[in-house]
Amino acid sequence: MKLGIVTAYPPSKVTLNEYGYHLLQHFKMQKGITEIILLCDKTQDEKVNVHSSDGCKITIKECWEFNSYNNLFSISKAIKESKADCVFINLQFLKFGDKKIPAALGLMLPLVNKIKGIPTISLLHNILEQVDLESAGFTKNPILKRLYRGVGNMLTRFILSSDIVAVTISKYVTVLSEKYKTKKVKLVPHGSFETPPEPSYDLPNGPKQVMSFGKFGTYKKVEAMIEAVEKVRQRTSEDIEIVIAGTDSPNTPGYLDGVAKKYSDIEKIRFTGYVAEEDVPVIFSEAAIAVFPYTSTTGSSGVLHQAGSYGKAVAMPDLGDLSILVKEEGYQGEFFIPEDVDSMSEAIEKVLVNDQYRIDLGVANYEAACSIPMSRIAEIYVEEFNKLIVLKDKGNRVGKVKSQTA
């Protein structure tokens, strides 16, 4: 099998690049895959850890750019030239751009593949039916919200042109299947990026790090977390460092610079900027707690799975997809009311002042992460691709027989 994978890939800063990285690392180790064609976005620096002595052959085709109007055509051309047997698309609605037309054109790729008869699985990380358009940075205008919903319905139908649309949360299966009257939607868990040996739950010397990781400014806002930690400092003798790890969301450029200026008088606060893939283990291993200062959710949380892989306690809002993940996959954490500084402060304090509780949460999350490793997720997709290829071959044989008898 020659497998084409359409995804952003590090050092890209386009959304889902981390997921693309780990997918590739596990797909390349699967039996039956002879070559992977990485259909990725263009970057100035070399792609991270693509070629190694382990796994199948990998061919890199940098064939698209964020917000390019040409992505649909350039990706389709690259797929044709590569002669891929099947294609996996790592998707969310702003995958190919945050401008309306480039974003929409890119999402037509599953339809083009269907027309060309290329077996395709699209992994859809979020669905517009479950997204708060205002919190996620799309629009506050009620008329535009209705317009976005209408356009979103059309784009979802494009994505449903795929042979299979995989989603990571069971509720998404129900919503899409009922609304669009389809049987193509399949639940495939997010999977944990890495399952390293069980970590030490001891913390490094120095301040206890309260860390948040991601792309900030839309539904991930750190002001409440900073103020919550200040309240913990006032109530306790804990030595605490605030660590904001990551960058601005593409929809909110300059957000973190504004936060840094606003809280310039706060002691022991660190903005790491972009975190390279090789530095992610350090960021997590040094943290005492990972905090999710979300105002809404837009899909299964990769950060929660990463925190579990490194045995970290978490504090998170009891809302949306995070609540579902906890119930379905066994993650545990201290919950708080979204955007409520006092509630977040109490949640963080409960973990920081009680080492045994912090360790218990870390152990539970590590066990949850180990239960669904990314290697198993890759196996599931390969099994589904093999079925699709068999169906395609059977259809081709039937078509030849009909043409001969005609």
CATH number of the structural domain spanning residue 98: 3.40.50.2000
Tell whether the model's pLDDT for residue 276 goes beyond 90.
Answer: no
Does 166 share its domain with 56?
Answer: yes
Q: How high is the pLDDT of residue 292?
A: 92
- Determine, yes or no, domain membership for 8: yes
Q: What percent of the chain lies above the pLDDT cut of 70?
A: 89
Domain count, the chain: 2
Bond from prior residue into 11 cis (ω within 30 degrees of 0): yes
- Check residue 10 and give its pLDDT: 92
- 312 shares a domain with 187: no
* Per-residue pLDDT reduced to its tens digit, 387-397: 999 988 776 65
Partners of residue 26 on adjacent β-strands: none
Q: Is residue 380 in a domain?
A: yes
Q: What is the pLDDT of residue 100?
A: 82
Question: Do 387 and 352 belong to one domain?
Answer: no
Residue 203 falls inside a structural domain: no
Domain extent at residue 385: 2-191+373-405
Q: Does 187 reside within a domain?
A: yes
Angle ∠(70,64,76) on CA atoms, nearest 5: 65
394 and 305 in a common domain: no
Instruction: Tell me, yes or no, whether 357 and 395 share the same domain.
Output: no
Q: What is the pLDDT of residue 145?
A: 59
Which pLDDT score, from 0 to 100, does residue 402 have?
Answer: 57
Does the pLDDT of residue 215 top 80, yes or no?
yes
Domain contains 141? yes
Q: Are 336 and 318 in contact (CB under 8 A)?
A: yes
- Specify whether 334 is located in the same domain as 387: no
Residue located via tokens 């206890």: 208
pLDDT at 349 exceeding the cut of 90: yes
pLDDT the model gives residue 59: 95
Q: Is the pLDDT of residue 386 over 70?
A: yes
When comparing pLDDT for 140 and 65, which is higher? 65
Q: Are residues 86 and 107 in the same domain?
A: yes
More confident residue, 269 or 321: 269
Mean pLDDT along residues 337-348: 94
200 part of a folded domain: no
Closest CA to 349 of 249, 195, 228, 242: 228
Q: For 6-30, what is the mean pLDDT?
A: 92
Predicted confidence (pLDDT) at residue 263 exceeds the cutoff of 90: yes
Q: Are residues 157 and 263 in the same domain?
A: no
Quick one: average pLDDT of 293-315?
A: 82
Residue 199 lies in a domain: no
Q: Confidence band (pLDDT; 50, 70, 90) for 68? A: very high
> Cα separation of 208 and 200, whole Å?
15
The percentage of the chain sitting over the pLDDT mark of 90, rounded to a whole number, equals 60
Does one domain contain both 318 and 388?
no
Residues 80 and 184 occupy one common structural domain: yes
Q: Specify the pairing of strand 287-291 against strand 313-317.
A: parallel
Does some domain include residue 76?
yes
Does residue 106 have a pLDDT over 60? yes
Together in a domain, 351 and 250: yes
Residues 261 and 124 in one domain: no
Q: 367: Cβ–Cβ under 8 A, 6 or more apart, which residues?
A: 330
The pLDDT of residue 325 is 72
Could you tell me the pLDDT band of residue 142, with boundaries at 50, 70 and 90? low
